C-alpha cells in the first residue's frame, strides 16, 4: 500500500500560511528589518510604511478604518484586552463606569469565558446566556439580560466547534439601546464569511491572522473610532506603540503577513465560501449515508461554510482519531486541568456527555479538494466500524 | 558619486533576522503548520516537538531549565507580566502578599517604569533608585530602599541607551535577604554578554528575540522553578498555553526562530563580544580624536561591548542625523506625547538637556565590519561640521 499524504481537516484550529503570504513577509526578516518606531532612518521608515499598508489591508477586510485597528499577538490577547481593559482596577479609585454587569454566551471561546469568570470572582455581575440545540443564542434571552447596568456584551461571530453563526447585529441593537458596548470575537468568522463591523454594529472585534492563512502570533483588535475613543486600559505599558494600547516593538513580518492574508481573503471570499459549503454539504451527506445514526450538530442553524461537527454514535472520538493516522481532525472534548472533559460548547447545546465524547469536528479550508472529502468519509467509516466493533 | 549602502548602527533598536534563523523558521509556516495544542494528529505533534526543542535552546542560553521559560510576544509583555502579575487586583480580596513596595531604577525601559508608575498611582509604594554619572545603580542606595515590605525589585541587566551593565547579582543578594523577588529586564544583554540566571541570582528575567537576530513578536519570561512556583497572575486567560500564564495559539515559527537565534548566540558569544568591544573602542577613539570636545556617556562603567553613547557638543542630534542619510543611528531624545524630550536615562545620569539633545547612540552588531566604523566616524565628523557651522 502506498504511503498516503495525511489530509488536514482541522482548519478551525489553525491554517497553513498561504505561500503568497510567506512571500510577502520574507523581505521583512533580514532586508527591511527596521523598528518602525525609529523614524529617523531609512530602515525604520520602510518598516513603518509596511505596517501602515498592512493596517489598511486588514481594516479593509472588516470594513474598518486603519486607525481603528490595534495589532495584538492574536484574538486571545484581543479578547482579554477588551474584557480586562474596560474593567481594570475599577476598585482602585480611577474613574470608571458604574456599570457592573457583563453579558456573554455559554459558547464563547475560553479566551472570553475565562476572563469573564475571573471578573465574576472579583464581584462583577456576569451573565452567561444559554444557547439552543443548534448553538444559537436566544435574542429574547439577551434582551432580558442586557440592562442599564451592563457595561459590555461579548458575543462571538461564529463558533469554533460547531460553526454556528450568532445574531450579533440583533443583540448589538439591543445593547446599544442601553448604551452598552458590544464586543465580537470574530476569530472563526473573519476570512470565512463576510465580516463587516458596520453591518455587525459592534464597537470592538477580535481576530487572529493564523485562522485565515496568515502567520501565528499576530491578531487584531478593532476599536470603533480608534483606541482613544473608548475607556480601554492597556494590559501592558511601554513604548507607546499601537496608540499606547499594545506597546512593544511591532512584529513587522507578522503584520505584513496578516495584511496580505486579509487582502487574499477579501478577493477569495464569496467564491471560496460557496465552494467550501458545497464540499461540507457533500461531506455531511456522505457521512450520514455511510455511518449509521450519525448526527450533525447545529445543522439547522446558520453556519460557517467550512465546519461540520458530527456525532459518531457509541464511539469514542479519541479512539476513532487514533485509527485515523491519515486524517487530521478535531474532537468534541478537551483536556482541561489533566482530565478529559466534553466540550463546553456541546454541553451548552444540550448534547449529552456521551455524544460529545463521540463528536468529531471536520473543518475544511483553502487546500481541501473534492477527493479529500470522499477519502475522508471512507476512512472515517472504516475507522468507525473498527472502533465500534471493539466497543 | 556612487550610491553608498547605508550602514546600520542601530542594533540596540532591533536586529536583522540572521539568515540561518529564517532558514530554521521557514518549514514552520506552510509545511509544519499545526497548532501544538492539537496533540491528536501529526501536524499538532510536529509543531509541539519544534516548540519543545526551541524551549530547550532558549533555556540553555540563559542557564535555565525548559519548564522555566514562558514564551511571550516580547520583553515589553514579559516585564508587564511580572509587575502586573505579582500585584494584580490586590484590592479584590484575592490572597496576595501584604508587601506593598516595588523597587526599580531610574534607567529602566519604559516597559518597566510605566507599569511601576501605574502601580504608584494605584497606591503602591514605588521607589525609583537613582544612578550615578555613568548610569550605574548605587548598591548602597538599593540596600536602603529594599526592606521587608518590598515585594519586587526590578533592575535591568544592561541599559539600551548607554550600555551600562548593572550590579544585578549584588542587588539580588540584598533583595533575597529580605525575601524579595528579583526581576531582571535583560532585553539588551541576552545575546550580547553572558547572561546566566543562576549567576545573576534572579527569580524572573525578560528578553526579546529581535534583539539577538531572532524574529520580532517573540520573547521570553524566565520564572525560577517554573510559572506555577510564583504567585503570578496571568494578564490573559484562555486556552492554557505556557502553563496558563500566557495563553493563545503558540507562535511556532517565531518560537523556532528564537530558539535558533539563541543557539547561534551561544556559539558566537565570547568571540563576538570581544570583536565588537574592539570595534567600539576604535569607534570611540576615532570620535574623540575627530570631534572636538566630544564626550562618551558611561565610559567609566562596565558596559555592553556594542554600545556607544556620544555627546556631540553644541549639536542637535536630530539635525545631525538628517545630515547622515547613509548612517542609521539612535539619538538621546524621544518623542513622548507629541513633544521631543531628552531621554530619561541621560537625565537620570545627570546629563544636561542640551547634552542629551546632542547625544547619538551608536550600537554595533553581527554585520558591522571595521570599514563601517571608519566610514561612520568620517561621515559623522562631516555632518557635525556642517550642522555645527549652521548653529
Q: Which of A329-343, B192-206, B286-300, B301-315 bottoms out in mean pLDDT, i.e. has the lowest? A: A329-343
Q: Which of A75, A91, A109 faces B92 most closely, judged by CB atoms?
A: A91
* Minimum distance, in Å, between the CA of residue B286 and any CA atom of chain A: 23
Residue B133 CA, chain-centre distance (Å), reads 21
pLDDT at position A92 is 47
Which residue of chain A has the CA closest to B208?
Answer: A249
Across A234-241, average pLDDT: 93
Tell me which residue of B259, B362, B389 sits closest to B304, measured CA to CA: B362
Residue B317 pLDDT exceeds 80: yes
Residue B335 pLDDT exceeds 80: no
* Minimum distance, in Å, between the CA of residue B233 and any CA atom of chain A: 11
pLDDT at position B97 is 80
Q: Best interface-test mutation with A: which of B12, B14, B74 has the largest number of A CBs within 10 A?
A: B14
Q: Which of B13, B41, B76 faces A329 most closely, judged by CB atoms?
A: B41
* Minimum distance, in Å, between the CA of residue A239 and any CA atom of chain B: 6
Query: What is the rounded CA–CA span in Å between residue B334 and residue A25?
Result: 29
Q: Which of B16, B122, B238 faces A111 most closely, judged by CB atoms?
A: B238
In this structure, the number of other CB atoms found within 10 A of the CB of residue A288 comes to 16
In this structure, the number of other CB atoms found within 10 A of the CB of residue B90 comes to 23
pLDDT at position B1 is 47
State whether B217 and A336 contact (CB < 8 Å): no
The share of chain B scoring above pLDDT 70, in percent, equals: 95
CB pairs under 8 A between A and B: 242
Within B4-149, residue ranges assigned H as helices are: 19-25, 27-30, 42-61, 75-87, 110-121, 139-145
pLDDT at position B390 is 54
* Minimum distance, in Å, between the CA of residue B328 and any CA atom of chain A: 5
State whether B76 and A331 contact (CB < 8 Å): no
Q: Which of A40, A75, A93 faces B331 most closely, judged by CB atoms?
A: A40
Across B362-382, average pLDDT: 97
Between B19 and A230, the higher pLDDT residue: B19
Query: What is the rounded CA–CA span in Å between residue A82 and residue B370?
Result: 50
Question: B105-156 pLDDT, tens per residue?
Answer: 999 999 999 999 999 998 999 999 999 999 999 999 999 999 999 999 999 9
Q: Which residues of chain A form CATH 3.40.640.10?
A: 19-262
pTM of the predicted protein model: 0.96
User: How many residues belong to chain B?
Assistant: 391
Q: Clarify whether B262 is annotated catalytic.
A: no
State whether A249 and B74 contact (CB < 8 Å): yes
Query: What is the rounded CA–CA span in Å between residue B283 and residue B377?
Result: 7
Residues of B with Cβ-Cβ distance to A336 under 8 angstroms: 240
Strands B181-185 and B150-154, sheet pairing = parallel
Residue A341 pLDDT exceeds 90: no
In this structure, the number of other CB atoms found within 10 A of the CB of residue A326 comes to 15
Residues of A with Cβ-Cβ distance to B114 under 8 angstroms: 237-238
pLDDT at position A97 is 80
Across A88-109, average pLDDT: 79
Q: Which of B10, B79, B237 faces A118 most closely, judged by CB atoms?
A: B237
Question: A131-171 pLDDT, tens per residue?
Answer: 999 999 999 999 999 999 999 999 999 999 999 999 999 99
pLDDT at position B40 is 87
pLDDT at position A366 is 98
Tell me which residue of A272, A126, A91 sits closest to B88, measured CA to CA: A91
Question: A245-260 pLDDT, tens per residue?
Answer: 999 999 999 999 999 9
Query: What is the rounded CA–CA span in Å between residue A317 and residue A324?
Result: 10
* Minimum distance, in Å, between the CA of residue A30 and any CA atom of chain B: 5
State whether B237 and A110 contact (CB < 8 Å): yes
Q: Is the ipTM of this complex over 0.90?
A: yes
- The CATH code of domain A19-262 reads 3.40.640.10
Query: What is the rounded CA–CA span in Å between residue B184 and residue B235?
Result: 19
The catalytic position among A116, A184, A262, A335 is A335
Residue A380 CA, chain-centre distance (Å), reads 26
State whether A41 and B6 contact (CB < 8 Å): yes
Find out if CATH 3.90.1150.10 is the number for domain B7-15+269-390.
yes
Residues of B with Cβ-Cβ distance to A322 under 8 angstroms: 40
pLDDT at position A91 is 46
Q: Which of B248, B254, B327 faces A76 most closely, judged by CB atoms?
A: B248
Helix (H), strand (E) at residue B129: strand B125-129
Residues of B with Cβ-Cβ distance to A242 under 8 angstroms: none
Residue B337 pLDDT exceeds 70: no
Residue A34 pLDDT exceeds 90: yes
The catalytic position among B116, B184, B262, B335 is B335
Cα atoms found within 13 Å of the Cα of residue A290, Cβ hemisphere only: 19
User: Which 8-state DSSP code applies to residue A66?
Assistant: G
Across B154-159, average pLDDT: 98
Q: Best interface-test mutation with A: which of B88, B123, B253, B322 has the largest number of A CBs within 10 A?
A: B253
Q: Which residues of chain A form CATH 3.90.1150.10?
A: 7-15+269-390
| Average pLDDT of every residue of chain B | 94
pLDDT at position A1 is 47
Give the residue carrying C-alpha cell 448534547.
A351
Instruction: Tell me how many degrees the CA angle B276-B281-B286 measures, rounded to the nearest 5.
Output: 125
Question: For chain B, how are helix, strand and coil distributed in percent, rounded to 5?
Answer: 45, 20, 40
* pLDDT bucket at B253, cuts 50 / 70 / 90: very high
Across A343-369, average pLDDT: 96
Residue A360 pLDDT exceeds 60: yes
Residue B332 pLDDT exceeds 80: no
* Minimum distance, in Å, between the CA of residue A16 and any CA atom of chain B: 5
Cell of B377: 566616524
pLDDT at position A331 is 86
Residue B3 pLDDT exceeds 80: no
State whether B30 and A40 contact (CB < 8 Å): no
CA A88 vs CA A70, A82, A84, B81, B89: distances in Å: 19, 10, 5, 15, 9
pLDDT at position B91 is 46
A389: exposed, middle or buried (Cβ count in 10 Å: 0-12, 13-18, 19+): exposed
Query: What is the rounded CA–CA span in Å between residue B117 and residue B71?
Result: 25
pLDDT at position B65 is 98
Give the residue carrying C-alpha cell 489598511.
A56
Amino acid at each position: 500500500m502506498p504511503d498516503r499524504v495525511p489530509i488536514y481537516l482541522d482548519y478551525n484550529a489553525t491554517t497553513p500560511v498561504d505561500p503568497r503570504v510567506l512571500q510577502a513577509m520574507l523581505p521583512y526578516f533580514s532586508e527591511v528589518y527596521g523598528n518602525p518606531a525609529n523614524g529617523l532612518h531609512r530602515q525604520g521608515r520602510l518598516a513603518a510604511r509596511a505596517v501602515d499598508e498592512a493596517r489598511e489591508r486588514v481594516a479593509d477586510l472588516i470594513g474598518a478604518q486603519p486607525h481603528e485597528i490595534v495589532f495584538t499577538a492574536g484574538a486571545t490577547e484581543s479578547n482579554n484586552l477588551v474584557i480586562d481593559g474596560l474593567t481594570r482596577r475599577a476598585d482602585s479609585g480611577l474613574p470608571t463606569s458604574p456599570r457592573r454587569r457583563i453579558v456573554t454566551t455559554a459558547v464563547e471561546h475560553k479566551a472570553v469565558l475565562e476572563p469573564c469568570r475571573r471578573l465574576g470572582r472579583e464581584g462583577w455581575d456576569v451573565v452567561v446566556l444559554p444557547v439552543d440545540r443548534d448553538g444559537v443564542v436566544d435574542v429574547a434571552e439577551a434582551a432580558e439580560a442586557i440592562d442599564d447596568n451592563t457595561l459590555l456584551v461579548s458575543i462571538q461571530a461564529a463558533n469554533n466547534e460547531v460553526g454556528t453563526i450568532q445574531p450579533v447585529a440583533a443583540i448589538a441593537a439591543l445593547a446599544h439601546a442601553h448604551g452598552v458596548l458590544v464586543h465580537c470575537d470574530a476569530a472563526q468568522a473573519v476570512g470565512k464569511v463576510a465580516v463587516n463591523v458596520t453591518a455587525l454594529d459592534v464597537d470592538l472585534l477580535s481576530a487572529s491572522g493564523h485562522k485565515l492563512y496568515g502567520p501565528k502570533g499576530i491578531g487584531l483588535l478593532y476599536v470603533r473610532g480608534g483606541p482613544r475613543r473608548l475607556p480601554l486600559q492597556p494590559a501592558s505599558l511601554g513604548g507607546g506603540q499601537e496608540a499606547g494600547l499594545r506597546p512593544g516593538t511591532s512584529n513587522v513580518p507578522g503584520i505584513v503577513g496578516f495584511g496580505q492574508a486579509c487582502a487574499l481573503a477579501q478577493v477569495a471570499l464569496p467564491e471560496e465560501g460557496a465552494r467550501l459549503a458545497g464540499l461540507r454539504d457533500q461531506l455531511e451527506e456522505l457521512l450520514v449515508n455511510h455511518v449509521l445514526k450519525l448526527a450533525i450538530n447545529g445543522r439547522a442553524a446558520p453556519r460557517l461554510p467550512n465546519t461540520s461537527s458530527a456525532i459518531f454514535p457509541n464511539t469514542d472520538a479519541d479512539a476513532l482519531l487514533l485509527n485515523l493516522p491519515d486524517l487530521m481532525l478535531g474532537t468534541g472534548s478537551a483536556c482541561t486541568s489533566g482530565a478529559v472533559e466534553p466540550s463546553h460548547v456541546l454541553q451548552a447545546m444540550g448534547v449529552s456527555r456521551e455524544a460529545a465524547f463521540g463528536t468529531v469536528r471536520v473543518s475544511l479550508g483553502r487546500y481541501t479538494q473534492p477527493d479529500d472529502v470522499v477519502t475522508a468519509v471512507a476512512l472515517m467509516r472504516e475507522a468507525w466500524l473498527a472502533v465500534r466493533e471493539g466497543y
